[in-house]
Structure 1
């Protein structure tokens, strides 16, 4: 290992002597070597500058895409919270019997709940929040969560036959999967 280092040093020293002799004997040759060395350094600097510019451009593009994603989906958690309220309003409307709908006071109260449900639905539409269709659709694990299997002669196995909780999308992202019952062949 030591010998290799000595040999390398000796070769380096010899090369240096040859360069000096050549430079002393021919100034044009020395100038040509210097120009070649400077051109090489210039090419390397250009390459590094182009790489840095490309990297800066990529970072700028990534940040812009992240900014757009953040603004498009900023209300995601709020929307999830509002889904619970929508569920309660829908359950309240479903629980009102025909008998109560005929009562004047109950009818006025029901009108207020229905108006609230319409406003909530309009707000969801403005934010790009849509309900996932489930019943009659094949199970999609990206949008539905199977909670039970229901024996059925009428529906193909793997088809959704009941929905326990509605699922929602916000633009192209899942806010909440639909909780569903899936058809299976009867035993």
Structure 2
């Protein structure tokens, strides 16, 4: 509709004869204020539309990212849990045996331990098991006590409990006693 009005005004201004000394002749060639206003309003409308579309797209991307993060948190343990299910099954089967012998129990525990180690490997859960004489690493070991020993100071005398790491992150430090 605005375009039709614009074209009608331009056509009317062209039909009027231009006189040689007429001061309004250059003004007729330049767009009128109404035309400039219409053009500016159209540009504003286009920019507002583009802005709203970009804003909606950014909001949708943010929402999708939040949903992905929530799903990742919810199901992050899924692989590790799948690896632990056979371990639980083995333990339950061991409890169902009517008259277990010591050898059968030992065999069952060994198989279950192998399953658990496999689950740890899949979950990238690594043991921290320092050897006697290793230097104390406070990033992986926790010294419980210092004892007099025939070895260099701040070296491990005994391991009281293994530690564990997930990839490069310490889950639980190894509990050790250290030489004075």
TM-score by length of 2: 0.52
Query: What residue in structure 2 maps to residue 113 of structure 1?
Result: 109
Query: What residue in structure 2 maps to residue 54 of structure 1?
Result: 58
Question: Which of 123, 142, 146 is 2:143 aligned to?
Answer: 146
Note the C-alpha offset of 1:177.
Answer: 0.5
CA offset digits 1:69-90 (Å, max 9, x no partner): 44233457x97xx8xxxxxxxx
Note the C-alpha offset of 1:106.
Answer: 4.8
CA RMSD of aligned residues (A): 3.7
**Aligned pair 1:162/2:158, yes or no?**
yes
More helix by share: 1
Cα pair distance change 1:73/1:111, threshold 3 Å? closer
**Aligned pair 1:130/2:126, yes or no?**
yes
Radius of gyration: which is bigger? 2
Q: Which runs of 5+ in 1 are unaligned?
A: 1-25, 83-104
CA offset digits 1:23-57 (Å, max 9, x no partner): xxx99311321320231232133123213312322
Question: Which of 32, 38, 41 is 2:36 aligned to?
Answer: 32
Cα pair distance change 1:150/1:71, threshold 3 Å? farther
Query: What residue in structure 2 maps to residue 177 of structure 1?
Result: 172
Q: Which runs of 5+ in 2 are unaligned?
A: 1-29, 88-100
Cα pair distance change 1:48/1:146, threshold 3 Å? farther
Structure 2 CA distance, aligned partners of 1:137 and 1:48? 62
Question: Which of 64, 72, 75 is 2:76 aligned to?
Answer: 72
Task: State how many pairs are aligned.
Answer: 132
Secondary structure in 2 matching 1:134 = coil
Cα pair distance change 1:45/1:145, threshold 3 Å? farther
Query: What residue in structure 2 maps to residue 8 of structure 1?
Result: none
TM-score by length of 1: 0.50
